[in-house]
Structure 1
């Protein structure tokens, strides 16, 4: 039985604020992703959208706000974040627990049926060879003309020095906000979640799944993603959005 989360929307807001400390332009990048969905579905009022590594459901909630009849599927492995997502989304989305580190993560998903697969700030914790394989697996899930968008830290190859300075600038500003108590850090947020009676057992399970933390912080330049998506079979590939050293790259089947 799923745990009863008394205040899922409050946890959603708390997660959003914590994430925005890392990503001040987070809403802009998600809006650009949804623009791409709008462009490929046309007059379809009920697009099929897969929220990959969807966590608490931030992308799913914004997709449903934009496309109220969207048929959402959210995939993640983190039990605590999935509990918040399930409580927030209710019957508006299908929740799938799956491990993207394994090729069988698609076992409960129908190939060739999704209009869009969206993911943000998540795949950087996978190693290079797994991301390359994952891009090919995502391609198989999309219908012809469907779109995949990955938004993450993707420096511009032509601006290595400036990208580094932009990241350092963002790090300094974030640490200043933490010091002033404006927003919770990643670790402080998890400490708060662990204090919730319903979520505490799930947090313990999460750290058993990710004993050293999930992140490898492997963040290649955007050219790597473009080349790898082309190799995975996407016919159109390119940057959809950029903000500093972050970008969203899109691939169309």
Structure 2
């Protein structure tokens, strides 16, 4: 069955993927052109809409976004983000919304974990019971690889090796297809959300974060090294001054 790539509503610079997701990801050298297509390929293989095994090593450990893509939505709607990076984040939301990873009912039948491959060249398996895809990344043991599994039958689908660790994914979550699409449309139409100092104060009070930490989190900048060129900010270039100046 031919695979049709998902096209975001507007063009974006795929060379900027690692920069746009800085602080959320690791192995940034694996986050580049073709990464978002990799999400759709894996999703298509898991659901059976794609016959051939997906390409590997696209987006290091991206399985962490399953059930947690709301973090990208928060950053995409945040005012400090430059437009060229926001375009990448919105594109990811639009692509993710079209994959099974955005569907809570499908996520309820998923799990991740570590598999020791029996054969380095065989990293995916599928039967009527479901499918397993080993993504990449050293886990436990010499050949430990992170995998994503989707169960479609009563039994667990066969894996391309010995599973040594498992964990469920977040089935319930904010990031449903309609919400991801709706936020992307809203940001494109009206721009990012204005800064709300009161929200940062509430978050700090309820979580025990410092005011600065709460402000950075709400601004979509969880990593203090995540700065934006062309913006006025403090001498440390960590984005804190930019948040504070807009909050006054």
TM-score by length of 1: 0.29
Q: Considering only CA atoms, is the larger Rg found in Structure 1 or Structure 2?
A: 2
Which structure dedicates a bigger proportion of its chain to helix? 1
- The answer to which structure has the higher strand fraction is 1
TM-score for the superposition, normalised by structure 2: 0.30
The answer to which structure, 1 or 2, has the higher relative contact order (CA under 8 A, 6+ apart) is: 1
